[in-house]
Amino acid sequence: MNQATLTVAKVSDPTVVITLRGSWTVSGVLPALDQLSALLDCGQLKAVAFITGDDFSWDSRLLAWLLACQRMLESSQCQFDLSGMPEDVGDLFRLANTVPPNKALPQRHQSLFHHLINRVARLGDESMELLAFTGDLALSLCYWLSRKGSARWSDIINFCHQSGPSALPIITLQSILIGMILAYLGMVQLRQFGAEVYVSNLVGVGMVREMGALMTAVIMSGRTGAAYAAQLGTMQVNEEIDALITLGIKPMDYLVLPRTLALILTIPLLCLYSNILGMIGGGLVATSMDITWLMYLYQLRDAISSGDIMTGVFKSFIFAVLIAMAGCRAGLACGRSSAAVGQATTNAVVTAIIYLVVADAGLNILFYHLGI
Amino acid sequence: MSQLRQEVVIEACGLTMKYGSNLIQSNLHFQISKGDVFVIMGGSGCGKSTLLKHMIGLYEPAEGEILFSGQSYFSATAKQQLAMRKRWGVTYQGGALFSDKTLAENVALPLEQYTTLTSKDIRDMVHYKLALVGLAGFEAFYPSQISGGMCKRAGLARAIALDPDILFFDEPSAGLDPLSARRLDDLILQLRDSTGATVVIVTHELASIFAIGSNGVYLDASTRTQLDTGSPEYMLNHSKHDVVREFLSRGAGGGEYADE
């Protein structure tokens, strides 16, 4: 195969004729453009004519080179004359030039600093939006209670089924293991004081006041909160939400409220279930060491008061509202692409867990000061 | 009829649309009379669908307003807005059917919300509306079980459930084969003739534009404003703008469709 070469000849002063020889193809090596610009006196160039020489062959590579050449000579606005080239080359070159290139730049990713500044500036907006969303949800609940809203019991029961019974297996596994972990932790520490029997207190109070509610909520935010975000996000992508609005139905009444009510109904129940299984799990560990079931249960009865149970259930009620809000808000704010649905789901889980942890800390401080 | 045609149902007054700070279209002026089939046309990305979404109240205009029989949607009270919405039927590009509901439940939804019909009456009504769009017998199907064209028609059945005065279509024939597109056009015209509804339609299918359009507006992507308004035939033959004539004749410069 012949090496691609070119020779430059000046015919009349502003016009230059360039002869191309050899193989101008993808597999060959083409002369560098800087080399050409050194040969040409770019400043006064008015027209460049290309003609073919010996053994000339070409493919897209030639066109790419010609376009690069044209970009290099753009400032001098010289004419390209391709009449000496094969007809197809001229046609393709014209085709590539029919639509002038776009000058505007796409939006660049911002620098980290700007990104941070924007995020901080957006925090204010976001908390206002959250407040507005909460208000809307409360209004929608009032409408529903006064029998004007469009949430339907059939929907609520359907969502209850999705979020409640179907979540039992994973809650079972999780609760038994948490109970066992607490029991191991307690046994090792309490043995130092010979107070092994108090492992019941640790497991019981730990589950009922804290772990049952929190861990159930974490599981539910990953399971149901994410599902809500994905459902509403996909509805947003399919324009189903727009369709609802134009039918005069508020998404808040029709989509968000039934989901929230379903979670409010199921999560406290799941929390109670989780408490019981956690205590059983703790018992399994305790009795495998040097405590009998009778001692364990007897001590457990003394350790837990109904106030403790109510505390946990109240927490899980608050968590249910937060999970539903995080999920539904992320879904409704979803963009209109499939990537946005994924982002909305991530968002739902992350915000839900942040809400949970912050709310849990706040509630614990509150209960401590109220002496509950 | 001629007197009816005078009645202006929708009017855009100096409408400017923006996404954030991004200008989409500015200074739009047009009037839509009762019984019109009004075509919003223009090249890709010029804001046709955005204009439609402004008309149905999903987006608020940046400037100017859209008047429905002299009443602006965004300055109306919530009760008036709901009343206006009940008079509109909207079909979306992909049908936008609720995927967790059967076709019957989809069409029944507006009826359950706004009428006091019994469930049996609603069932009959749903059957009638689905039969109108050629989907009788598909009541128990889910949107995922039928084809894209059928989804669009089912979306139309839901849009006409409450016998709307104004029907909005977002690209009804996009993604349909020529025959189905033609049938949909005929269906739209029949519905217009039999119910006296006004039709607003976003499309860039030339065949549709000339087959059903009686009025229209051309939005230009580069100047970001309307270039012309009037019937498609009028624009094709008399528009001052080359772009409009080229668009309406697929680049041939005018005349091709004028005889039809």
Among candidates A312, A327, A321, which has minimal Cα distance to A272? A312
Q: pLDDT band for A201, please (50, 70, 90 cuts).
A: very high
CA distance A170 to chain B (A): 25
Residue-level pLDDT at B168: 93
* A180 and A323 fall within a common domain: yes
Does residue A131 belong to any structural domain of this protein? yes
% pLDDT > 90, chain A: 56
In a domain? residue A304: yes
- Residue B209 CA to residue B188 CA, distance in Å, equals 12
pLDDT category of residue A208 using cuts at 50, 70 and 90:
very high
**DSSP label at residue A155:** H
Question: Do A259 and A312 fall into the same domain?
Answer: yes
pLDDT tens figures, A27-67: 878 888 877 777 776 566 778 888 888 888 888 888 888 88
Does A108 reside within a domain?
no
Asked whether residue A25 is assigned to any structural domain, the reply reads yes
Same domain, A75 and A32: yes
The stretch A167-179 carries a mean pLDDT of 96
List residues of A whose CB lies inside 8 A of any B CB.
150, 234-235, 238-240, 242-243, 245-249
Mean pLDDT over the full length of chain A: 89
Q: What is the pLDDT of residue B114?
A: 85
Give the three-class secondary structure for B33.
strand
Strands (E) across chain A are located at 5-10, 15-21, 23-24, 47-52, 57-58, 79-84
Closest CA to B249 of A12, B240, B237: B237
pLDDT number for residue B19: 85
Distance CA B205, CA A350 (A): 45
pLDDT at A93: 86
pLDDT value of residue A21: 86
Q: Report the pLDDT averaged over residues B25-29.
A: 90
**Which amino acid, residue A230?**
A
ipTM of the prediction: 0.79
CB B92 to CB A235 under 8 A?
Answer: no
Residue A119 belongs to some domain of the structure: no
Inter-chain touch A246–B109, beta carbons under 8 Å: no
Query: CA of B88: which chain A residue's CA is closest?
Result: A246
B45-48, long-range: CB within 8 Å, 24+ apart, which pairs?
Answer: B45/B221, B46/B219, B46/B220, B46/B221, B47/B17, B47/B219, B47/B221, B47/B224, B48/B202, B48/B204, B48/B219
B182 or A365: whose pLDDT is higher?
Answer: A365
Q: In this structure, are A85 and A148 located in the same domain? A: no
Residue A230 in domain = yes
Q: pLDDT tens-digit profile of B184-231? A: 888 888 888 888 889 999 988 888 888 889 999 999 888 888 888 889
Structural contact between residues B81 and B57, judged by C-beta atoms closer than 8 angstroms: yes
CATH number (domain holding residue A48): 3.30.750.24
Examine the domain organization and report whether A263 and A312 are in the same domain.
Answer: yes
Asked whether residue B260 carries a pLDDT value surpassing 50, the answer given is no
A87 and A163 within one domain:
no
3-class SS of residue B95 = coil
pLDDT digit string, tens, across residues B77-134: 988 888 888 889 999 888 889 988 899 999 999 888 888 888 899 999 999 999 988 8
Range of A309's domain? 126-370
Paired tokens of A125: 């907006």
Whole-number Å distance between alpha carbons of A282 and A176: 7
Note the pTM of the prediction, 2 decimals: 0.77
Q: What are the CA-CA distances from residue B215 to residues A27, A249, B188, B200, B212 (Å)?
A: 57, 31, 15, 9, 9
Mutate to test the interface with B, among A155, A159, A162, A239 (most CBs of B within 10 A): A239
Domain identity same for A89 and A230: no
Question: How many domains are there within chain A?
Answer: 2
- Clarify whether residues A340 and A276 are in a common domain: yes
- At residue B123, φ and ψ (nearest 5 deg) are -60, -45
User: Of A79, A97, A115, which residue is a domain's last?
Assistant: A97
Q: Return the higher-pLDDT residue of B78 and A342.
A: A342
Looking at the structure, tell me whether residues A153 and A90 fall in a common domain: no
Res B256: pLDDT: 44
What does the pLDDT look like over B129-166, one tens digit per residue? 999 888 888 989 999 988 888 888 899 999 988 889 99
**Nearest CA to A372 among A307, A313, A319?**
A307
For residue range A215-261, list pLDDT tens digits in order.
Answer: 999 999 999 999 999 999 999 998 999 999 888 888 999 999 999 99
A89, A158: one domain: no
**DSSP notation for B144-161:** GGS-HHHHHHHHHHHHTT
Residue A48 counted as domain residue? yes
For chain B, what is the radius of gyration of the CA atoms?
18
Per the model's pLDDT, the better-predicted residue between A344 and A115 turns out to be A344
**Option in B58, B97, B113 nearest A242 (CB):** B58
Residue A213 shares a structural domain with residue A81? no
Q: In this structure, what are the phi and psi dihedrals at residue A56, rounded to the nearest 5 degrees?
A: -80, 130
The arithmetic mean of pLDDT across residues B35-57, rounded, is 89
Last residue of a domain, one of A48, A79, A97: A97
* Same domain membership, residue A222 and residue A348: yes
